Amino acid sequence: MKQAKKYIIANWKSNKDTSEIITWFKSVSQLFIERKLKNLADFEIVICSTYIHIPLVKQQITSYQLPFKVGAQDISPYSNGAYTGEVSAIMVSEFAEYVIIGHSERRIYFHEDEDMLREKTQMGFSAGLKTIFCVSNNKAEIPPDVTIIAYEPIWAIGTGKTETPLNANEVARKIKNDNKVHIVIYGGSVNKDNICNFLTQKEIDGVLPGNASLDPNSFWEMIVNAASN
């Protein structure tokens, strides 16, 4: 049976301006050309930028012919209409295939609760987006129609400390067991040195790196190490 793809989903958070994005893609595309990885098709690589930079990310991926997908970091819980400042799932779906919902930073700093996250997931699903729903433990409420669950212990995000791969695998197993989801990825200080420890776990279908995705070399090294395993 053909092995399912492993996900490497870059979350740039509120980082990078236009020129930094252009430089990032130039560097990554050079590395991509220099070192042709035979099994890159075994990975689904997604770049999640700020809303404002999504069209640029899409354009860069297209012009360098990189096998990457485009993602957003959030969507509105509302459809199009009188919601000043909001960006709807329908708008995002013009440019992106994926959207992160319920990242712990949105739950903490923007007070997004379970009701709102259910609405957002529903909006994403209706607009045809693949939703990456973040949870910090296996007891968290998971709305229906989620595509991917990202298990991200809060203490491991941006701290340099990771969950042990065995614990992460066990949480992923429980999430799959208790919910109708088949894809669970791990996030929390993933980098080039530890990525394989997570990707080799049976129940872990990918990773969601934040900091380690910002630098083109460190991002590319993660892919190279994952692909060489």
Q: Which is nearer to ligand PEP, 135 or 227 (CB)?
A: 135
Minimum separation from the CB atom of position 84 to ligand PEP (A): 27
Minimum separation from the CB atom of position 207 to ligand PEP (A): 8
Is-catalytic flag, 53?
A: no
Q: Which of 94, 75, 93, 95 is nearest to 85 (CA)?
A: 75
- Element (H or E) spanning 151, and its range? strand 148-151
Of the candidates 44, 53, 103, 112, the residue annotated as catalytic is 103
Q: Which is nearer to ligand PEP, 88 or 184 (CB)?
A: 184
Minimum separation from the CB atom of position 157 to ligand PEP (A): 4
Is-catalytic flag, 103?
A: yes
- Footprint on this chain of ligand PEP (rule: CB under 6 A): 11, 13, 103, 152, 157-158, 187-190, 208-212
Other CB atoms within a 10 A radius of the CB of residue 31 amount to: 17
Q: Which is nearer to ligand PEP, 71 or 187 (CB)?
A: 187
Helix (H, G, I), strand (E, B) or coil at 134: strand
Q: Which of 94, 89, 97 is nearest to 9 (CA)?
A: 97
Helix pair 216-228, 18-34: axis angle to 10 deg? 30
Q: Which residues pair with 45 in a beta bridge?
A: 8, 68
The residue number with the shortest CB distance to ligand PEP is: 210
List active site positions: 103, 152
